[in-house]
Structure 1
Amino acid sequence: MPIEFYNPPSAILASGSKLGVEIGGSKSILSMDARHNLYSEGVIFSELSWGAFYQEEGLEDQIDTFETKEFDSIREDPEALAKKIVESIYNIINNNRLLYGIADFEVDGFLNQNTIIPGLKLDYAIINKLLDAHKKTRDEDLFPNLLSDAKGAHRIKIEFQGTKKRNLHLIGSKLEDLADILRMAKGFATGIVCTSRGAANLYIMCDNIVFKEEEYPDLYTDEENLAIIEMGIQRELLFPISWFRIDLGIRSLETLELWDKIKENPKLNKAMKYYEKYITSLVYKKFQVMASTEKIGTDVEEDFYTMSPAERRKALRDMAEAIRKLTDEYKK
């Protein structure tokens, strides 16, 4: 099922032609609303250049010159990075969204024999097929369409594909359901962005995402999805655009290169505490409704909010387990 991606980074829409190709990358903070739509909250890094091909016969796929079209980066500036995260967190709370994670999109026209996304390894044969398919994408201008709504907001339609696509397209119809899933999420998913019928399809090739505190990530390669991608390319149904990596949940911030330098920032810590309280209240609301349905006492809210963050996390785990057991008993 497609979702909307608002204000997507340039790299996911990078285009090309017989004359050249856009090359670059981006790293952004993403949020998600109750309808599963994604929003780019803050740009950490963005670079896009135009690589013009040689015009001589036999060199048509080799880059002759580069011209920088876009550059914006705070990934090496601790103060600016902390400020951007703080602004993003408050904006997420004020708009009733959730911090979805950190997204990297890298576009190299598949001219590089090595994948440029950390955590993703592919055989050269597959990369060569992607290179040939990207050439067709450029030659026939098959890149996704950027849409605009009445308020001028830019968006594209995206859809996650793969055996474990539910690790990125989360299951839940309410914000509190999604908050409960994301609060414990850790790990990342990598793959390629392909265009099909004007939409961007994110095909997951590898992931190690887990949703329980006691679980440890184990990298999984989606061989079935790799076969689907190859088949789609051969049948000219899928056309590759770029690489992607998505680190999921609040813990995605820990993957930032400067995290150790900014994690003690007072304003950042204050924002993180506000966000934790915001998420906790959403999850508590979910369990309170469930408890009411199961006729479990619900007069503990005042005590709950006097607990420490660690005590609240444990209480939520205990509540979830108790409700699960009672539900199982009720079904017998």
Structure 2
Amino acid sequence: MKVQLSVMNGCDYYTIRSEHSLVTLHKGEACGFGLFIAPLCSCHINDKIAVIALDITSGQQITTNVTVNVTTEQSTKLNYREIEELSQIGEGSFGIVYKGTFKNNTVATKKIKNSKEDDNAMMEFENEVNVLDKFRCEYIVHFYGAVFIPTNICMVTEFAEYGSLQDLIKKRKKTDAIDMKMRVKIMLNALRGISYLHDNEILHRDIKPDNILVISPNVNDKVNAKPTDFESSRNVNMLMTNMTFTKGIGTPVYMAPEILKKDKYKKPADIYSFGVTMYECIGWCQAYTKHQFRFPWKIAEFVINGKRVKKKENIPQELFDVIQKCWAQDMSKRIDSTTIVNFFY
């Protein structure tokens, strides 16, 4: 008699194999089959294995099914079948962001564009996933996990109903701006997230209003805003790689002078970016207007030469003093994140 095991239903989120694909048994003999199940994500597996026995003498074939019913532990490797995309809410150079649901939670899903063809995009995606997976901080956007199934690669994070700080500044002009207390709270929350990164020797490298999500408009809530977008984040001990500025490419608005000069940089570069972001949030304005700076490289030249934009009338002097300490030309003279947090308290 010949005995064979066969998986009845193919699946892309787990694999099943047997120790022996085909066994020949003589009269009075028996054998055991070992099944090896390899989940590719957190999932529930309910499948059937066909056990096919063929009597060589009579030619009679008997088929019976063995049910495999197991559930994995929950991890950050997600099953794409549990994620529902509702609507597109944003698009960047590497991916498209959708509003969706995951296990009854409203989430943001970020899908990679051309992940098969673009090795750089996939590398940035994997870096962001690795960074987010280590974070355990209420002031950092919550990371549910990521899908690594080749046809459905995406990451799933907390959804910010109110969008980014940049969205708020654009939508609500000065006459309808959120009050100063809330602006300060948003900056303090973002700073706590940045401080957590720095305490763990991580540089964000792309701090700007676009990358600060507004979670709640209620100033009495503990958390109102969180940093997001960790594609560019790196360990503080790594050398600079791709954060460089070329005339006409990208925006140097939030880049520290040492980055614009392509020098090595560390935590103070994030503090500089935070300073410009704080200027825009507290002043409810653009730091560099197109009227004053028609081309991006004009901003770079302005900053490299040690110049900074002037104080806006609506920025309190004590807060502008903090901003100036953040964007000091000499990185060694910039205030650190912990000192700024202590200032607010």
| Same fold by TM-score greater than 0.5 | no
Q: Rg bigger for which structure? A: 2
- Between Structure 1 and Structure 2, which shows a larger proportion of helix residues? 1
TM-score normalised by L of structure 2? 0.26
